[in-house]
Structure 1
Amino acid sequence: MASIADNYIPAFRSAIARIFHPNGAVVGVGFLVSGRSQNYILTCAHVVTSALSLPEDIVEAPSHDICLDFPLIAPGQKLKAKVVFWQPVVNNVSTSEPEDIAGLQIEGQLPHEAQPIKLIWANNVWGHPFRIFGFPHGHNDGVWSTGVLRDGQGKGWVQLEDSKVTGYRIEPGFSGAPIWDETLAGVVGMAVAAEKQREDIKTAFMIPVDVLSKAWDEITLPISSNAHTQNSPSRVQQLKIKTLQQRFEVLSSDYEAAYNQLNYTLAASDRNIIQRQINTILQELGRVESELNAI
């Protein structure tokens, strides 16, 4: 049955890719998805043009290699990828056609732990909490952010809101990142843009998975949220699930806090202590996940 923990540790974290400029700067995010014939990396077209120092709205698909790694499972193990699908950015024109989407084919061997992410299509995600991992300026190791999903707008993108007082909001460096829906326990979209006009507005947008899959039919069709939740647990199971999900939420928050703290810690002894804390949290997350999956 579906749960917040379902596939989170083995798939969501392992599917996240970090995309580099040739000078080593991190320019954005991508994520591993299942295709009809093989696995691919999905990201934003503007992340690719940034990685290659090209005009953002270039029409032709770039032919140069893209450099990336999987920072949460194999940091530093860099791979090359080529653009095999291209839906360019459309500037200064209002359109409902899909845009700013790129599909990459990886050259070489994926890290052993890498798994394609679970895509979920949902008709209504209003109020669903989400989490996202990205690389804002100065944070090449990445940070976590959370917020609440809203609804679609004219371009077909879905609005995201940062509802918390502290912590990171979605900003440049999160583009191309998968949006994990806590309610549906799967990825419902890809971060594409953040509000830039007003600093007091903590809003961003995602391209929902139904738009992604319609734009590129090579992507395996997403699971319907109805099918995803059709097996109803018993009352006793619901109580167990609720307790375990609450425990998972607490551990997830502890993990995010420790991971973000690690980015600010310089002393080797302190980093070792924090890393041990992270490892302990991950072990407990795995245990809770196993219990949830067994229900």
Structure 2
Amino acid sequence: MATNNYFQAFKGAIARIYHANGNVVGAGFLVSDRHLLTCAHVVTAALAILPQNAQDMPVGSVELDFPLIAPGQKLKSKVVFWLPVNPSQTQEDIAGLELESTPPVTIEPVRLLAAEDYWEHNCRIFGFPQGHDLGIWATGILRDKRANDWLQIDALAAQNRAVEKGFSGAPIWDESLQGVVGMAVAAEKRREDVTAAFMIPTSILRSAWSDLGQWMDRYSLSLRNFSDNLPSFRQVKLKALNGRYSVLCAQYEATYNQLNYTLSQADIVSIREQIKELEKEIINVEQEINNLSK
């Protein structure tokens, strides 16, 4: 994978998972040439399996597509890894899928990363809450672990789109680390001013599914802090580029979300052109960041 395309690969690798009746039930993401991660409860929803915490590995076919790069091109997959919903366990609600055919050639696995400290890292996530089958972007702030090692994500509902039901199984993009640091698994709304959600961090996913570690080593780069070893003038430039990168990603998110509302065909065409231009700018900034970091 080219080092300047981490965010582009992240977007392309996001899967939209369907029920047999065509309803969208959640998300997943590509972690190898033919394997995806999602939540076990997304799979049981897709296959209409009850109870939600069914212990036996499902044998049905799970339909999905990659909406940001090949919308409507549905593929079939089978479950090859299964940790059912089990709140008494740290490793739970994780499913691995294997595609029964090759995905579109332009799709690459996400860049998976793990770190010791995520506190106050900004993150973004793409999911499919009710009424948004085209998908919608949300933002959040990473906090720290709970007793079950899941990480908390906070978002001020008054300012940002909140992570909610329909985002389960989606990859969490960390803007500071420029990679995927976990999978969205649950959301709760118990406070009026703050919406909390939770993710299973990459370290838990890797520990649970041994094959994932091999794919991480193959497709991902080790996390390093480049900026500490740069001359001061390059550190200043790198900081400015990272700021520009965050602004562009936020603009991309806001522009894409406009597609979820009723628009004329001319408006849709204009928005898609804006999205393409933003993608080009994001790629250029990523290239500059990586050139400085070499």
Write the letter of the residue equivalent to 2:175: E
Of residues 6-15 and 133-142 in structure 1, the stretch that sits farther from structure 2 once superposed is 6-15
Change (3 A) 1:278 1:172: same
Counterparts of 1:240-255 in structure 2, within 5 Å, are 240-255=237-252
Write the letter of the residue equivalent to 1:133: F
Q: C-alpha distance in 2, partners of 1:218/1:249?
A: 32
Change (3 A) 1:226 1:107: closer
Identify the residue that residue 35 of structure 2 maps to in structure 1.
40
Q: C-alpha distance in 2, partners of 1:185/1:266?
A: 32
Write the letter of the residue equivalent to 1:239: V
Q: C-alpha distance in 2, partners of 1:125/1:286?
A: 25
Q: CA deviation at 1:172?
A: 0.7
Identify the residue that residue 26 of structure 2 maps to in structure 1.
28
Is 1:54 the counterpart of 2:49? The answer is: yes
Q: C-alpha distance in 2, partners of 1:96/1:49?
A: 19
Q: CA deviation at 1:238?
A: 1.4
Q: CA deviation at 1:164?
A: 5.7
The one-character-per-residue Cα deviations of 1:127-183 (angstroms, maximum 9, x if unpaired) are 111111101100011111111111111111111101362331011100001111111
Q: CA deviation at 1:281?
A: 1.4
Q: CA deviation at 1:196?
A: 4.5
Q: C-alpha distance in 1, partners of 2:80/2:221?
A: 31
The one-character-per-residue Cα deviations of 1:201-231 (angstroms, maximum 9, x if unpaired) are 40011101111111110102557x9951244
**TM-score, with length taken from structure 2:** 0.91
Q: CA deviation at 1:236?
A: 2.2
Is 1:85 the counterpart of 2:81? The answer is: yes
Is 1:290 the counterpart of 2:287? The answer is: yes
Identify the residue that residue 14 of structure 1 maps to in structure 2.
12
Write the letter of the residue equivalent to 2:38: T
Q: CA deviation at 1:96?
A: 3.6
Q: C-alpha distance in 2, partners of 1:6/1:87?
A: 34
Equivalent pair of 2:158/2:193 in contact (CA under 8 Å)? no
Matched position secondary structure for 1:166: coil
Counterparts of 1:1-295 in structure 2, within 5 Å, are 7-34=5-32, 39-55=34-50, 56-90=52-86, 94-163=87-156, 165-197=158-190, 200-220=193-213, 222=216, 227-231=222-226, 232-295=229-292
Q: CA deviation at 1:39?
A: 3.9
Q: C-alpha distance in 1, partners of 2:171/2:42?
A: 14
Of residues 38-47 and 235-244 in structure 1, the stretch that sits farther from structure 2 once superposed is 235-244
Q: C-alpha distance in 1, partners of 2:287/2:242?
A: 12
The one-character-per-residue Cα deviations of 1:5-36 (angstroms, maximum 9, x if unpaired) are 953333111111110111111110001113xx
Aligned residues, how many? 284
Q: C-alpha distance in 1, partners of 2:160/2:140?
A: 10
Write the letter of the residue equivalent to 2:132: H
The one-character-per-residue Cα deviations of 1:240-262 (angstroms, maximum 9, x if unpaired) are 21222222222111111111112
Question: Which is bigger in relative contact order (C-alpha 8 A, separation at least 6)?
Answer: 1
Write the letter of the residue equivalent to 2:11: R
The one-character-per-residue Cα deviations of 1:62-98 (angstroms, maximum 9, x if unpaired) are 10000001111111111000000000002xxx52431
Q: C-alpha distance in 1, partners of 2:69/2:146?
A: 35
Q: C-alpha distance in 1, partners of 2:221/2:180?
A: 15
Q: Note the aligned Cα RMSD (angstroms).
A: 2.0
Write the letter of the residue equivalent to 1:21: H
The percentage of aligned residue pairs carrying the same residue is 50
Q: C-alpha distance in 2, partners of 1:167/1:149?
A: 14
Equivalent pair of 2:137/2:253 in contact (CA under 8 Å)? yes
Equivalent pair of 2:42/2:168 in contact (CA under 8 Å)? yes
Q: CA deviation at 1:61?
A: 0.7
